[in-house]
Amino acid sequence: MSDPHASAPAAHADDTHAQHGSVRGYLTGFGLAVILTVIPFWLVMDHVLTSVGWTMFIVLALAAVQIVVHIVYFLHLDTRSEGGWNMMSFIFSAVLVIIVLGASIWVMWTEDALMMPMSQPAQHTMPQE
């Protein structure tokens, strides 16, 4: 006599694993990624905007959106997978990377700004490019 509840643990085990995407989800993510790549390429190559600052801002904003698209559609990170721990570990890692990169850039900029200028005789002995 088979137990009707015997398949319940297997079904429960499948719920705890990250959801795998469907073909439609992967195609949606791919389409969005292509669009979010083509738009900045077009903006830069055709010089659509006259302001370099606005062009850089739009390219960086679309890059941030593309990161989110990759996280959602390809990495399948959301608040439901693994009880939210996957998303929390990703956010923690992202914050650490931002802190390390930001601090590194700050240190390099400060070193450059505070570097002592070269003396006049030392400038003449430097090779000219």
Question: Taking the model in full, what pTM does it have?
Answer: 0.60
Residue type, 79: T
Q: What is the mean pLDDT of the chain?
A: 82
Two tokens, residue 119: 């003396």
**What is residue 36's predicted lDDT score, i.e. its pLDDT?**
96
pLDDT above 90 for 72: no
Task: Give the mean pLDDT of 66-91.
Answer: 84
pLDDT above 70 for 44: yes
% of the chain surpassing 90 pLDDT: 44
**Are residues 94 and 71 in contact, defined by beta-carbon separation less than 8 angstroms?**
no
Task: Give the mean pLDDT of 2-29.
Answer: 63
**What is residue 27's predicted lDDT score, i.e. its pLDDT?**
95
Give the single-character DSSP code of 82: G
pLDDT above 90 for 20: no
Q: How many Å is the maximal CA-CA distance in the chain?
A: 97
**What is residue 16's predicted lDDT score, i.e. its pLDDT?**
47
- pLDDT tens string 94-105: 899 899 999 999
